[in-house]
A and B are shown apart, each in its own frame.
Chain A
């Protein structure tokens, strides 16, 4: 058996350390002696139904995001939707996450249609939401990462958030939610390498992929000492930066 990871728009949407996610998935499979292959799926390239066991989709600049949105209109988008319904796990970050919602409304220019897999929509905001994020998820425990986005994503009535923001902004900086969950798909604003520092998320995706092949047993545990150390370090940084932000508040007003 061989797991095939489909990396959507690997060349155009990999803005900041997104490669770390694919590296984490690949390495964690390799250490468990699970044969893995990473296939890049670019603009204009066909998405073959049933071929992939796991999808990753990173963030991109505006121009690349517009190109991806139009690429997914029609058959390719339908295939992706059907694959997610089939239970294929997916991690979509930032720009990719936004396009899995119903639409993205920019400041100017036409609305970008999304796939509507998540009951969510995104509106361009005036202020960029930048900083370390700590999220509490009932399913995955504490998740830590970094966010950098001006789009504000709002969840519809049927949407389930990935978690609740403890530090940072999350989906929109207003309602305390972060990310979105649907079947085995995860959308999040935690950009860059979220999987290396949150190995429980990586293993969830891998376990879902293996289940597609009828493999129901729990994954063999790995020595994750270093990953959790980096996780703890990142949470400490998020706390320290929140403190310094609060201390600077009176100065900012002047």
Chain B
């Protein structure tokens, strides 16, 4: 600690206040950025004051939701949690959240940190935060123009694992063969979770599956069951590599919308219920429950805590607009988009769909990934599908090639949304699928109209 920490904290706090006062964003990144310029070791200084340490969550999909769920568990058991809730997950975003929880003298007010981290920022974040637990969710193909090939991300994560304190626990999704292989050296302090229910298995490995080869020997992997993307119960045809035994197993997914899962951990068996829906959220809920058990929280608290978790920014968020109940779904990559479509089909509500595709830096400038999404599955829903956003035309063409004639092809994000809403029959529900910046733009407009709270206030 010291003068420098204090100075950086004060500077950050002034910027946070200014950003919100003058409405230049939510102050979720700039304060941390400036503070880290003033004091590069700020995160380490603040994190090491937390009496119960920090939990770090990483993965291509589900970071924000899982981090929220873990924070909810800890809050239920009476701890004050420092959390980058807005989903701003680069070091500057994490620093912003920590600064906001600190006094002007650079003292952090909280018991435990819950931090979601960007894939590429993981080694730096682990170095700075020295977490007591690292939760690894999944590794999918995402924004190739930014993240590069999957092997590059896997290498980055190997470096992050090597930087963990020697007593840190590793909670890992064992249904992901890549994560299983990455965390093998940590098997004695590793908690594995995964699904074990043939009822939610897919008939085959989807087109967008990213890993078909054994990460250990390179031979083909065979799947007894596939649950999502390349997540499932796998075994290598060439060596002994296979899905390891699960510490915490989601044995029976009784309901997907909303979620109800029977969870078995050793001799204990509990039913988890959540307002969240979809198989991908089953993994997020399982990850949070496993983290809770590994931290020694009691079962009743975990069940209650998870039941209270609400959707994060644009993740199955429900809004009421002009008498229409609309559900907002963020889609960022093929695996996530496929799961969103699966949720629409499973929900069995025949609501019209609006798909908003942007190609700004934060979305990935390359929209090629839309062609890896199994858009054809929307045919089963038989509802009008419209498009909007900067790449409305690309999405409309993708739909056309999937045999779905777009109901309308709108321009812009907010303009598309308004015109689409106006076209809905009275009282009709609707789904809005949007990429990151499209969701941000839409939510900002809805917040200005008083339909939604600002995302940093959630």
Q: A-side interface residues toward B, CB under 8 Å? A: 11-12, 15-20, 23-24, 27, 61-63, 128, 130-132, 146, 148, 191-193, 196-197, 226-227, 229-230, 232-234, 237, 241
Tell me the bound Cα distance from A37 to B359 in angstroms. Answer: 33
User: Which residue in chain A gives the minimum CB-CB distance to B212?
Assistant: A11
**Any chain A CB within 8 A of the CB of B218?**
yes
Per-position contact with A for B393-404: 1 when CB-CB < 8 Å, else 0?
Answer: 110111011000
Candidates B144, B151, B390, B393; contact of A16 at CB < 8 Å: B144
Chain A residues positioned under 8 Å from B148 (CB to CB): 128
| Cβ contact within 8 Å between A17 and B371 | yes
Name the interface residues of B194-224: CB closer than 8 Å to any CB of A.
Answer: 207, 212-213, 218
Tell me the bound Cα distance from A241 to B232 in angstroms. Answer: 40
User: Which residue in chain A gives the minimum CB-CB distance to B374?
Assistant: A19
> For chain B, what secondary structure do more than half of its interface residues adopt (helix, strand, loop), or is it mixed?
helix
Knowing A148-B144, A234-B394, the reply to whether A16 touches B368 (Cβ < 8 A) is yes
- What are 26 pairs between A and B in contact, CB < 8 Å? A12-B212, A17-B368, A17-B369, A19-B372, A20-B371, A20-B401, A24-B401, A27-B401, A63-B151, A63-B213, A63-B218, A128-B148, A131-B365, A132-B365, A146-B365, A146-B367, A148-B366, A192-B366, A193-B371, A196-B371, A197-B397, A226-B396, A227-B397, A232-B393, A233-B393, A237-B391
| Cβ contact within 8 Å between A226 and B397 | yes
Knowing A62-B151, A237-B391, the reply to whether A196 touches B145 (Cβ < 8 A) is no
Name the interface residues of B390-434: CB closer than 8 Å to any CB of A.
Answer: 390-394, 396-398, 400-401, 409
Knowing A20-B401, A233-B391, the reply to whether A148 touches B371 (Cβ < 8 A) is no
Per-position contact with A for B88-113: 1 when CB-CB < 8 Å, else 0?
Answer: 00000000000000000000000000
Candidates B150, B212, B369, B397; contact of A196 at CB < 8 Å: B397
Chain B residues positioned under 8 Å from A227 (CB to CB): 397
Best-surrounded residue of B148, B366, B396, B398 (most CB of chain A within 10 A):
B366
**Any chain A CB within 8 A of the CB of B181?**
no
| Cβ contact within 8 Å between B390 and A17 | no
Chain B residues positioned under 8 Å from A132 (CB to CB): 365
**Any chain A CB within 8 A of the CB of B370?**
yes
**Any chain A CB within 8 A of the CB of B382?**
no
Candidates B151, B359, B365; contact of A61 at CB < 8 Å: B151
Tell me the bound Cα distance from A11 to B371 in angstroms. Answer: 15
Tell me the bound Cα distance from A16 to B367 in angstroms. Answer: 9
Knowing A15-B144, A63-B218, the reply to whether A20 touches B151 (Cβ < 8 A) is no
Chain A residues positioned under 8 Å from B145 (CB to CB): 130-131, 146, 148
| Cβ contact within 8 Å between B394 and A197 | yes
| Cβ contact within 8 Å between B149 and A61 | yes
| Cβ contact within 8 Å between A229 and B396 | yes
Best-surrounded residue of B213, B359, B368, B372 (most CB of chain A within 10 A):
B368
Size of interface on B: residues with Cβ below 8 Å to A: 31
Measured CB to CB, the closest approach of chain B to A188, in angstroms, equals 13
| Cβ contact within 8 Å between B150 and A61 | yes
Chain A residues positioned under 8 Å from B359 (CB to CB): 237
Best-surrounded residue of A12, A20, A128, A131 (most CB of chain B within 10 A):
A20
Tell me the bound Cα distance from A148 to B367 in angstroms. Answer: 12
With A17-B368, A130-B366, A191-B368 already in contact, 18 other A-B pairs whose C-beta atoms are closer than 8 Å: A16-B366, A17-B370, A20-B371, A23-B371, A61-B150, A62-B151, A63-B151, A128-B148, A130-B145, A148-B144, A196-B397, A226-B393, A226-B400, A230-B394, A230-B397, A232-B393, A233-B391, A237-B391
| Cβ contact within 8 Å between B372 and A146 | no
Measured CB to CB, the closest approach of chain B to A61, in angstroms, equals 5
Tell me the bound Cα distance from A96 to B228 in angstroms. Answer: 29
Closest 7 CB pairs of A and B: A192-B368, A20-B371, A17-B368, A17-B371, A233-B393, A230-B393, A230-B397
| Cβ contact within 8 Å between A230 and B396 | yes
Measured CB to CB, the closest approach of chain A to B66, in angstroms, equals 26
Chain A residues positioned under 8 Å from B213 (CB to CB): 63
Tell me the bound Cα distance from A232 to B394 in angstroms. Answer: 10
Tell me the bound Cα distance from A17 to B397 in angstroms. Answer: 13
Tell me the bound Cα distance from A19 to B366 in angstroms. Answer: 15
Measured CB to CB, the closest approach of chain A to B167, in angstroms, equals 35
Chain A residues positioned under 8 Å from B391 (CB to CB): 233, 237
| Cβ contact within 8 Å between A19 and B207 | yes
User: Which residue in chain A gives the minimum CB-CB distance to B394?
Assistant: A230
Per-position contact with A for B356-396: 1 when CB-CB < 8 Å, else 0?
Answer: 00010000011111111000000000000000001111101
Measured CB to CB, the closest approach of chain B to A233, in angstroms, equals 4
Chain B residues positioned under 8 Å from A23 (CB to CB): 371, 401
Chain B residues positioned under 8 Å from A18 (CB to CB): 371
Measured CB to CB, the closest approach of chain B to A102, in angstroms, equals 24
User: Which residue in chain A gives the minimum CB-CB distance to B368?
Assistant: A192
Tell me the bound Cα distance from A9 to B365 in angstroms. Answer: 26
Measured CB to CB, the closest approach of chain B to A139, in angstroms, equals 23
Measured CB to CB, the closest approach of chain A to B184, in angstroms, equals 19
Tell me the bound Cα distance from A229 to B367 in angstroms. Answer: 15
Tell me the bound Cα distance from A146 to B366 in angstroms. Answer: 7
Measured CB to CB, the closest approach of chain A to B74, in angstroms, equals 39
Best-surrounded residue of B150, B367, B392 (most CB of chain A within 10 A):
B367
Measured CB to CB, the closest approach of chain A to B157, in angstroms, equals 16
Chain B residues positioned under 8 Å from A15 (CB to CB): 144, 149
Chain B residues positioned under 8 Å from A226 (CB to CB): 393, 396-397, 400, 409
Measured CB to CB, the closest approach of chain B to A155, in angstroms, equals 25
